[in-house]
Structure 1
């Protein structure tokens, strides 16, 4: 009996020490990264709110808006892999700070857009400026967290998306209403200028506070550093030699990941770029009111993504924790398309869609990071994110085109639902033994 008690105590000691160390890591880096992503996502999608005024002021059609919104992702696609390689070589601190400062400057410049061409060019340049931020953070988290701890951390990080929606949409509406006409600028112009400032500030904060990795963290003692390094080394054992950088693009698993992520991103950006327009179509008036209604689906998404992320880690099961939210997201889009003029039903359906779609993104990354590590992970994560984010071009442009062609958003919502179903089926093509750890 005494021996059993001693053994239990010996096991509990290292576990408690590990958990304490990871709690320390969490509070040092995750809230900072979340805040950065709130700012990033707000600057990426606030064009959806600006559309409520900008399209009318500048005479943009739905297709022009959709194409411009999507061109962000072409610049993002072209420069994402080089950006992630530079992050891996130069360090996260300098590179993430550089990304934030340049995208803040580009986002503020949208206040001076006047023609479709300048709108297209600016969205493309914004994509170049921001390229590498999201996959860079995913890569950075692999420096600190092993696979069995990663899903809930990525889910918490990606809670920044719905947080940006909850606070950003009402804020955007409030700015547009309050500053309309001030100093001769439209409300949407003031929105771009004011909402760009946090990116510049956070870039400087990252430069001052973020550490490149475990070894450079002065707030960890040597015992804690060695503990974390052992965890990462054990997690990556056997993966580095199997995935040379040149082999990434010939690995069928990587291309399957690209397909899955493309489908999920179609739903994600279809929702975030068109949410204000969909809410307005139900009869809601006033920019602030539209922003407040738009916040409801994002609130539901925060709860869903964190509960399901914790469940996935606790059970060490990845596939069905992705498939079920994707199917619920598809159902939400179908219901929203069927009740486009009913505010209560539409908001409830969009909440279901948001909970499903936004839950898929953080859980997805537990799949490729289970078989990629080191420099191969830098390239592989960026490549998957680049190809997947081409859906960010296709999704808003396709919905805008279909809306102009049919005078309705219904067909676009059905397309998004279908893509989520395809993504769910593709997830089931991933071997369980590869990712369930």
Structure 2
């Protein structure tokens, strides 16, 4: 968007700004807390690997396959889950998701064989399917397009926040509880970190409102303001297309391809970061957790600043291209780092780049779809993109087994982020800069 068109854009009134601040503080911190718990349950398997692989005799390939199978279950149930959320309401459906994934995560306590590990990872993906795209869809009910990059960036700051707190917490549990009651530290970690998901699932049912009209904490004028803004925002977007029409829309598949490339980098980082830190010479699970928090600390600052900048300038593409390329460079340097310090700096750049891409990406598809089309479109993009969550850890594990080095895997991730940057550049600016 040019400087002139930005100047012509209608200014947000003080009443509207106050209304959206009220909505922000009511919803976004709570949704962020839910995602912290969700992401912790998703990636604590990376810390479990530090003990679990040795205890159960899992190879790098076996562990990578098990970690990735989560996303096969996720893929299969993603679209129907998001459609059900749109029909049944976020309150009931998100509560269901959280309780079921908490129960399944706790069941990792009982894993003894590779096939049990595979089955539970697959079921965990089925249980969680629909949570993330459901929250993205839910945000579109409350905030217009020009505010969403910032809102989604704050919400997705839960990913690095879960790394900042979850890494040290997981490491501490594994060290402190190892051998308690005759059970391994990784078993206690799965059990203790599953409990918050079940408890918060119950809270969701009573705290969230399905739609703006149901919010008793908003007065009639505030509801009318949001309704007008959302209605204006929907003009010119695809909203009531059938599922078949959404599937045939080439823009959806272009978005899915871009997201696949971004997610390759995201899960390559989150699943293998503890192993990379340990390989640099850091000893002790707690210390590995503390060092692993550094890249996430850098990422949380960068992603929020970039989200604010993207909304202020109403520009999307370059706010994605630059972080993607920075992430690619970070992965390349981490593969050739000659010291732990250089490695952590490089991984911090990689984390800042790839994790910043994830929230800003969602301002692209939600700029041209809304309503029922958004429910299925967002789910398609997210489910296809998250297949990279299967491919990435499995491919890195296989490359590590074949080469006895993580360098090839890091080069692969850098290449995927570079491809994403090229694809984003080829996306017409007029389609997404709103």
Quickly name the TM-score band, shorter chain normalised: over 0.9
Q: Does 1:369 align with 2:366?
A: yes
| Runs of 5+ unmatched residues, structure 1 | 1-10
TM-score between the two structures when normalised by the length of structure 2: 0.97
Superposed CA offset, 1:86-145 (max 9, x none) = 000000000000000000000000011010000000000000000000000000000001
Q: Does 1:300 align with 2:295?
A: no
Find the counterpart in structure 1 of residue 161 from structure 2: 163
Distance of aligned partners of 1:241 and 1:118 in 2 relative to their CA distance in 1, 3 Å threshold: closer
Separation in 2, partners of 1:187, 1:87? 36
Find the counterpart in structure 2 of residue 150 from structure 1: 148
1:35-114 pair list within 5 angstroms: 35-114=33-112
Q: Does 1:309 align with 2:294?
A: no
Number of residue pairs the alignment of both structures matches: 426
Find the counterpart in structure 1 of residue 26 from structure 2: 28
Find the counterpart in structure 1 of residue 3 from structure 2: none
More deviation in 20-29 or 244-253?
244-253
What displacement does 1:208 show?
Answer: 1.0
**Deviation beyond 4 Å, 4+ runs, structure 1:** 11-14
What displacement does 1:250 show?
Answer: 1.1
Find the counterpart in structure 1 of residue 6 from structure 2: none
Corresponding residue to 1:421 among 413, 418, 422: 418
Separation in 1, partners of 2:219, 2:372? 26
Q: Does 1:211 align with 2:209?
A: yes
| Runs of 5+ unmatched residues, structure 2 | 1-8
1:327-366 pair list within 5 angstroms: 327-339=325-337, 342-366=339-363
Separation in 2, partners of 1:218, 1:13? 27
What displacement does 1:12 show?
Answer: 11
Q: Does 1:321 align with 2:319?
A: yes
What displacement does 1:243 show?
Answer: 3.7
C-alpha contact 2:295 2:347 (8 A) present in aligned 1: yes
Q: Does 1:431 align with 2:432?
A: no
C-alpha contact 2:239 2:369 (8 A) present in aligned 1: no
Separation in 2, partners of 1:61, 1:191? 21
1:189-208 pair list within 5 angstroms: 189-208=187-206
What displacement does 1:241 show?
Answer: 5.5
Find the counterpart in structure 1 of residue 272 from structure 2: 274
Find the counterpart in structure 1 of residue 383 from structure 2: 386
C-alpha contact 1:243 1:372 (8 A) present in aligned 2: no
Separation in 2, partners of 1:409, 1:95? 39
